[in-house]
C-alpha cells in the first residue's frame, strides 16, 4: 500500500431516476484505521419514489427536515480533500456527487478507485461482485443493507481486505495511473474485453450479466465510441454502464453499412437502452405539376398531401439539396423548381444554369423535355442502385443493393471476384428488411453525392 495515502470510502442513496442524494456516508481511512466519518440524510428537494423507499427504507418524511446537499457541501469537500475517492461501482457514486456540486457551480474532482474492479483483479473467479454477494462470499457482515452507512462500512472492510492481497500494491498503482481506464470502465466489464475491441467501423453490443443485449450502437471506430459511453455522465449512460458485463461487435467496413447493420440489430433485439422514436418523422415529397402556360414545375410539399410523389425525403434540407442538384444538372429554372418564390425572373445565388424559360427565351416544349429527363433520371436512379463501400479488410469490398426501390440488404465480396452483372452480387447478399428508417439512411447518403454518380457500380 502506498505510504501516507488517505482514502475516503463513500456510499450514497438516491431518489432513483433523478439521482438526487437522499443519504451519504463517508469514512476517511488511512489503510489501517478509520480516522473520520461523515454521515447524513439529505433533503433532495424531490419526491422519493415508493420503490426506492421499499429498497432503502428512506421516505419523504425522513428527509423533510434533513439538510440539503448545499448545506453539507463544505463538509463533503473537507473530508474528501487530498484523498482517493473509493466506492463499490465508483462511477455511480462519484458522478452523483459531482453532479450535485456542479449544480452549485463547484468543480469536484478526485482520484478514484472502484472496489468492484479491484475485487475482480485481486479476488478472481467469484460468481458475483455485487456488494451483497461479494460480502457474503468473503464473510463480511453488512448491517443496514441499502443504507449509506451500512454499505459504506462494509466497503471499508472489503477495501481493507483488498489491501492485504498479493499484488495489491502493483494493482492499486496501475489503477491509479492517469492513462489507466480502470476507474472509467463499467464495474462488471473485464478490461480485456474493452482492450480487444477493434478500432475499425462496425456495430457493438452491450450485454448484461445474463448475456442479454441491452444496447446496440454503430461507430467509425468501435473502441473509441464505446469508451465515450463510459465518459458520458447522463443518467441513461450511467445506468447502461452499471449493467454492462460484456461487449460484442461486428465489423462493417464503412459507416454506411454500420448504420444499416445497427438499424437491423435494434429492430431484431429491441434493446432496452435504445430509445426508438415513437412518432414517425415528417416526410417531404418532390412532385410535379403544370401551370396555365403548360410549364412543368418541380416543387416540395408535405408528403402526406401528395398522391404521386416523385421522391420522398425525411428532412427538408435533404429534399431541397436534391432538387438544387437536379436543377443544375438538367439546366432547369430555379423559379419553376420553387427554389425562388415571388420573382418574375430567376436570380438564384448558386444556380446559374437556367436557359431562359422564365424570360421567354426558350420554348415551353424544350424546357418540359428537360424536366421529363430529370424526372426519368430520378425515378431510374432511385429504383435500382448498387452502392459500393469499403470492405472489412483490404481484400474485400462491401455493397448495398436497392432493387425496384426496395432495400434488399448488404454483402461483402473478394476484390479478385469478377462481377459482370448486378444479379451475381445477390449470391453474396446478406438479406435485410426494408423500412422507413433504412430508406431515410440511404436517401441521405445519395443526396450527399452528386446524384449517385460516385457511389454506384455494376448497375
Residue 375: left (phi > 0), alpha (psi -120 to 50), or beta? Answer: alpha
Answer whether residue 260 shows pLDDT above 60.
yes
Confidence of residue 2 (pLDDT cuts 50, 70, 90): low
DSSP strand pairing (284-290 vs 311-313):
antiparallel
Considering only 150-154, 336-340, 349-353, which range has the smallest mean pLDDT?
A: 349-353
What value does the mean pLDDT take over residues 407-416?
91
Q: How many residues are recorded in the chain?
A: 459
What value does the mean pLDDT take over residues 330-335?
95
Higher pLDDT among residues 232 and 247, named by residue: 247
Q: How far apart are CA 239 and CA 273, in angstroms?
A: 9
DSSP strand pairing (7-14 vs 84-87):
parallel
118-169 tens-digit pLDDT: 999 999 999 889 999 999 999 999 988 889 999 999 999 999 999 999 999 9
Q: How far apart are CA 291 and CA 367, in angstroms?
A: 13
What value does the mean pLDDT take over residues 18-31?
95
Q: Which CATH superfamily is domain 191-269 in?
A: GIY-YIG endonuclease (3.40.1440.10)
Higher pLDDT among residues 281 and 241, named by residue: 241
Answer whether residue 263 shows pLDDT above 60.
yes
70-125 tens-digit pLDDT: 999 999 999 999 999 999 999 999 999 999 999 999 999 999 999 999 999 999 99
Q: How far apart are CA 297 and CA 62, in angstroms?
A: 70
> Tell me, what DSSP letter sits at residue 349?
S
Confidence of residue 295 (pLDDT cuts 50, 70, 90): very high
Whole-model pTM: value is: 0.66
Cα dist. 7→80, 89, 96, 166 in Å? 8, 15, 18, 20
Answer whether residue 1 shows pLDDT above 60.
no
Q: Where are the domains of the chain?
A: 7-176, 191-269, 284-381, 385-447
Higher pLDDT among residues 427 and 370, named by residue: 370
Cα dist. 207→186, 192, 223 in Å? 12, 15, 16
> Starting from the edge strand earliest in sequence, which strands make up the sheet with 296-302, in order?
296-302, 284-290, 311-313
Can 7-176 and 191-269 be said to share one CATH topology?
A: no
Longest Cα pair distance anywhere in the chain, in angstroms? 95
Q: How far apart are CA 90 and CA 184, in angstroms?
A: 9
Q: How far apart are CA 336 and CA 269, in angstroms?
A: 47
Q: Which residue has the cell 469490398?
A: 397
Considering only 230-234, 320-324, 327-331, 352-356, which range has the smallest mean pLDDT?
A: 230-234
Average pLDDT, the chain: 89
* CATH number of the structural domain 7-176: 3.30.420.10
Amino acid at each position: 500500500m502506498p505510504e501516507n495515502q488517505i482514502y475516503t470510502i463513500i456510499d450514497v442513496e438516491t431518489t432513483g431516476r433523478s439521482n438526487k442524494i437522499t443519504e451519504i456516508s463517508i469514512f476517511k481511512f488511512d489503510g489501517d484505521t478509520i480516522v473520520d466519518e461523515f454521515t447524513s440524510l439529505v433533503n433532495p428537494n424531490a419526491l422519493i419514489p415508493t420503490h426506492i423507499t421499499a429498497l432503502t427504507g428512506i421516505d419523504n418524511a425522513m428527509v423533510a427536515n434533513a439538510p440539503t446537499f448545499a448545506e453539507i457541501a463544505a463538509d463533503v469537500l473537507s473530508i474528501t480533500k487530498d484523498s482517493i475517492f473509493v466506492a463499490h461501482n465508483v462511477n455511480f457514486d462519484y458522478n452523483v456527487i459531482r453532479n450535485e456540486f456542479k449544480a452549485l457551480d463547484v468543480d469536484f474532482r478526485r482520484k478514484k478507485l472502484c472496489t468492484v474492479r479491484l475485487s475482480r483483479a485481486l479476488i478472481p473467479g467469484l460468481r458475483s461482485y455485487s456488494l451483497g454477494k461479494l460480502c457474503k462470499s468473503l464473510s463480511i457482515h453488512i448491517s443496514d443493507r441499502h443504507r449509506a452507512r451500512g454499505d459504506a462500512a462494509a466497503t471499508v472492510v472489503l477495501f481493507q481486505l483488498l489491501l492485504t492481497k498479493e499484488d495489491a500494491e502493483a494493482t492499486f498503482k496501475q489503477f491509479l495511473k492517469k492513462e489507466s481506464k480502470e476507474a472509467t470502465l463499467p464495474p462488471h466489464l473485464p478490461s480485456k474485453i474493452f482492450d480487444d475491441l477493434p478500432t475499425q467501423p462496425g456495430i457493438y453490443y452491450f450485454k448484461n450479466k445474463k448475456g442479454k443485449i441491452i444496447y446496440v450502437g454503430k461507430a467509425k471506430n468501435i473502441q473509441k465510441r464505446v469508451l465515450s459511453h463510459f465518459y458520458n455522465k447522463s443518467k441513461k449512460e450511467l445506468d447502461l454502464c452499471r449493467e454492462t458485463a460484456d461487449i460484442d461487435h461486428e465489423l462493417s467496413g464503412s459507416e454506411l453499412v454500420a448504420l444499416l447493420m445497427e438499424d437491423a440489430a435494434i429492430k431484431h433485439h429491441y434493446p432496452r437502452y435504445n430509445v426508438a422514436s415513437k412518432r414517425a418523422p415528417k416526410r417531404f415529397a418532390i412532385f410535379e405539376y403544370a401551370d396555365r402556360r403548360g410549364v412543368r414545375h418541380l416543387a416540395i410539399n408535405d408528403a402526406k398531401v401528395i398522391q404521386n410523389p416523385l421522391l420522398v425525403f425525411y428532412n427538408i434540407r435533404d429534399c431541397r439539396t436534391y432538387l438544387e442538384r437536379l436543377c443544375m444538372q438538367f439546366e432547369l429554372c430555379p423559379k419553376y423548381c420553387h427554389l425562388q418564390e415571388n420573382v418574375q425572373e430567376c436570380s438564384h445565388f448558386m444556380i446559374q444554369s437556367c436557359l431562359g424559360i422564365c424570360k421567354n427565351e426558350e420554348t415551353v416544349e424544350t424546357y418540359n423535355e428537360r424536366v421529363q429527363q430529370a424526372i426519368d433520371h430520378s425515378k431510374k436512379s432511385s429504383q435500382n442502385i448498387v452502392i459500393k463501400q469499403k470492405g472489412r479488410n483490404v481484400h474485400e469490398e462491401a455493397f448495398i443493393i436497392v432493387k425496384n426501390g426496395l432495400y434488399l440488404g448488404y454483402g461483402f465480396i473478394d476484390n479478385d471476384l469478377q462481377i459482370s452483372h448486378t444479379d451475381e452480387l445477390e449470391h453474396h447478399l446478406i438479406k435485410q428488411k426494408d423500412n422507413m428508417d433504412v430508406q431515410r439512411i440511404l436517401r441521405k447518403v445519395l443526396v450527399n453525392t452528386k446524384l449517385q454518380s460516385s457511389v454506384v457500380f455494376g448497375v
